[in-house]
Amino acid sequence: MSALERFLRYVQIDSRADDSSESCPTTPGQLEMQRLLERELREIGLGDAAVDENGYLMATVPATPGRESEAAIGFIAHVDTSPEMSGTGVKPIVHRAWDGSDIVLPDDPTAVLSASELPDLAAQIGHDIVTASGRTLLGADDKAGVAAIVEAAAQLVPHSEIAHGPIRICFTPDEEIGRGANRFDVARFGAAYAYTLDGGNAGELEFESFSADLMRVAFVGFNTHPGYAKGRMVNAIRAAARFVDRLPRERLSPETTDGYDGFVHPYQLEASVDRTSVRVLLRDHVTAKLRKQERLVRTLAEAVAGETGTRVEIEIQEQYRNMREVLDHHPHVVDRARRAIRAVGLAPIERPIRGGTDGSRLSFMGLPTPNLFAGEHNFHSRLEWTSRQDLEKAVAVIVAIAQG
């Protein structure tokens, strides 16, 4: 079986994560994925492959003779797909030796992948491009990563001439809703460091993420029958609207920043006259700058509360931290990936992520974990695509990292 064949099978299982569920994993489809992978890994020869009570699948590729004493290296991917787009009835289509012309997805002719709009795609003329059919996401995020890891294991096990130390594999649930690291048992995993395979273009190596906090700013007003509210009603919606309007827009917003510039992003509102709460994301690559962002939000919120006669309640929650703060202490982890990427004939592409990965959390849980490409593009979209060639490069990089 090839990496592509594995991938085409995985994407047809609906494993969408569900934020509204408290169970772990949040959906039965993710367990179905894990059971399938457990069987496949056992067939390959990884006898210890097992899904734990939280739906995490771990397995070992034993070291080749003479390298048993090396520290174990981990490879990690997530089995869930984004809740933002349907993952039911995914029909993957392989556009063999794509000639560069528009790819019109058959189930929705308005869904078109065009080389003129997608430079990453334009660079792949001649490759076998894989898309969904127009009504769903594809699920390359992160089933491309899963397929690459399984295929790498399948290549390593029967070939003892490819020398490597112990390798640990973990497939995690619910990454897309920020819970992928929650019940990750780092001690049981037992790797010295790891790599997530959950990135885009061939050659990508990510070891710098945002640091992230979530603020909840709630304005408390006073509700009464609107017909008899004169002089009494205090409308929390008006206060929240004024607050949102005062947040910076020309700078410090997602719409106006890129690269290393952070932002303050109001993204969710729960509104009633009595109480309106705004969720605000704080993001920067420098953790200390989050405190400045917090002060800005607090100052604006308190001023608005004073002007509007509302009371404001503010909570702040740490989400994740820039993995670079950990990885800078373990430079060999990133170096090993760089060497492997070059060894398979690619140039490492190193850019800061404007977001987080499971590795951002895992790195601070004691498992330094940068992120590697798996050929994922147009994440969470009907226009999601990948290519067989990228997938195979990801497999080659895993094998090269294992060899060291």
Judged by the rule CB under 5 A, the positions of this chain that interact with Zn ion are 141-142, 198
Among residues 151 and 176, whose Cβ is nearest to Zn ion? 176
Among residues 42 and 380, whose Cβ is nearest to Zn ion? 380
Token pair of 248 as six digits: 């910076």
Least distance (Å) between residue 83 CB and Zn ion: 12
DSSP assignment, residue 254? G
Catalytic: which of 14, 80, 376, 390? 80
Least distance (Å) between residue 142 CB and Zn ion: 4
* Whole-angstrom distance, CA of residue 77 vs CA of residue 369: 11
80 is known as an active-site residue: yes
Token pair of 203 as six digits: 């050659």
Least distance (Å) between residue 199 CB and Zn ion: 8
* Whole-angstrom distance, CA of residue 150 vs CA of residue 68: 21
Least distance (Å) between residue 148 CB and Zn ion: 13
* Whole-angstrom distance, CA of residue 71 vs CA of residue 35: 28
Is the omega angle on the peptide bond into residue 142 within 30 degrees of 0, that is, cis? Answer: yes
Least distance (Å) between residue 171 CB and Zn ion: 12
* Whole-angstrom distance, CA of residue 98 vs CA of residue 131: 12
Least distance (Å) between residue 198 CB and Zn ion: 4
Among residues 104 and 177, whose Cβ is nearest to Zn ion? 177
Residue 19, number of CB atoms within 10 A of its CB? 11
Among residues 384 and 392, whose Cβ is nearest to Zn ion? 384
- The answer to whether residues 114 and 49 touch, using CB atoms and an 8 Å cutoff, is no
- The answer to whether residues 211 and 320 touch, using CB atoms and an 8 Å cutoff, is yes
* Whole-angstrom distance, CA of residue 216 vs CA of residue 211: 17
Token pair of 98 as six digits: 């794509």
Q: Where do we find the tokens 């492959």?
A: 49
CA 253 → CA 237, 248, 284, 316, 364, distances in Å? 22, 7, 11, 19, 27
Among residues 142 and 390, whose Cβ is nearest to Zn ion? 142
Least distance (Å) between residue 175 CB and Zn ion: 6
Catalytic: which of 38, 174, 175, 392? 175
Among residues 40 and 141, whose Cβ is nearest to Zn ion? 141
- The answer to whether residues 49 and 197 touch, using CB atoms and an 8 Å cutoff, is no
Among residues 198 and 284, whose Cβ is nearest to Zn ion? 198
Residues 6 or more apart whose CB falls under 8 angstroms from that of 22 comprise: none
DSSP assignment, residue 228? G
* Whole-angstrom distance, CA of residue 140 vs CA of residue 113: 16
19 is known as an active-site residue: no
Which positions are annotated as active-site residues? 80, 175
